[in-house]
């Protein structure tokens, strides 16, 4: 097991001293879809997934893959003016938020989305402002690599359930926060 100090420090800062991370490499768009399908199979109502990564890194792509994997026929996108969309055509209700234009947590709370989160899976682009408010979230940082379709997907969480999922995954590199 190897730890990357930069990410470990980052996670330690916001989550305290415990947690787990797994780093996956997607060489192609299709690889990302496979990882998203794996994650989709783990999701339960109440889950919060926070996606971070630069513009065009694949945050919306992962939401689209997860939506398809749970049987939703509509294809999520990141609309210019709408901050949250609800999809209830799949085996789970999905809330997709893009908080790029939101100033702070209060603005998010004012949206009223929270009322639906307990019964839904909520996936949030640019959702770093929600980290402390939803401490059991799964965090996914997407890091574009040199080759066009290559991405590093850095999954991390401090919640017991996600820690078990990250430990059980049979691909990528696992590191423990202690
Ligand atoms: N491995 C990959 N994973 C995710 N997206 C990829 C990958 N390779 C290429 N892409 C492409 O990168 C783009 C990502 O766009 P998008 O998901 O809208 O990014 P974001 O929401 O992060 O701004 C899409 O056109 C997608 O097809
Ligand atoms: Mg997007």
CATH number reported for the structural domain that contains residue 11 in this entry: 3.40.50.300
Give the H/E segment covering residue 35: helix 29-42
For 162-178, how does the pLDDT look when each residue is reduced to its tens digit (9 = 90+)?
A: 999 999 999 999 988 65
Q: How many domains does the chain have?
A: 1
Q: Flag whether 141 is in a domain.
A: yes
Domain span at residue 59? 5-173
For 78-115, how does the pLDDT look when each residue is reduced to its tens digit (9 = 90+)?
A: 766 678 999 999 999 999 999 998 999 999 999 999 99
Q: How far is the CA of 17 from the centre of ligand 2 (A)?
A: 31
Q: Are 104 and 127 in contact (CB under 8 A)?
A: no
Dist CA 98 CA 111 (whole Å): 12
Average of per-residue pLDDT across 62-74: 98
- 128 DSSP assignment: G
Q: Flag whether 178 is in a domain.
A: no
Q: Flag whether 37 is in a domain.
A: yes
Other Cβ atoms within 10 Å of 107 Cβ, number: 13
- Counting ligands in written order, which one lies closest to the CA of residue 144? 1
Ligand 1 proximity of 96 Cβ (cutoff 6 Å) = no
For 127-142, how does the pLDDT look when each residue is reduced to its tens digit (9 = 90+)?
A: 999 999 999 999 999 9
Ligand 1 proximity of 59 Cβ (cutoff 6 Å) = yes
Q: Flag whether 139 is in a domain.
A: yes
Average of per-residue pLDDT across 14-29: 83
Q: Flag whether 124 is in a domain.
A: yes
Q: Flag whether 52 is in a domain.
A: yes
Dist CA 67 CA 2 (whole Å): 32
Q: How far is the CA of 109 from the centre of ligand 1 (A)?
A: 28
Q: Flag whether 153 is in a domain.
A: yes
- Counting ligands in written order, which one lies closest to the CA of residue 30? 1
């Amino acid at each position: 097991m190897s730890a990357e100090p930069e990410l470990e420090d980052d996670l330690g800062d916001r989550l305290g001293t415990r947690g787990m991370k797994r780093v996956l490499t997607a060489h192609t768009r299709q690889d990302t879809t496979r990882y998203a399908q794996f994650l989709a199979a783990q999701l339960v109502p109440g889950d919060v997934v926070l996606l971070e990564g630069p513009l065009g890194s694949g945050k919306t792509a992962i939401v689209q893959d997860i939506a398809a994997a749970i049987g939703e026929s509509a294809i999520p996108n990141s609309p210019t003016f709408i901050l949250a969309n609800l999809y209830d055509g799949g085996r789970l209700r999905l809330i997709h938020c893009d908080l790029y234009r939101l100033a702070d947590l209060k603005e998010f709370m004012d949206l009223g989305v929270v009322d639906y989160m307990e019964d839904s899976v909520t996936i949030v682009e640019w959702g770093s402002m929600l980290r402390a408010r939803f401490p059991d979230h799964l965090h996914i940082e997407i890091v574009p690599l040199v080759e066009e379709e290559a991405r590093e997907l850095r999954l991390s969480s401090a919640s017991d359930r996600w820690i078990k999922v990250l430990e059980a995954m049979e691909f990528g590199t696992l590191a423990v926060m202690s």
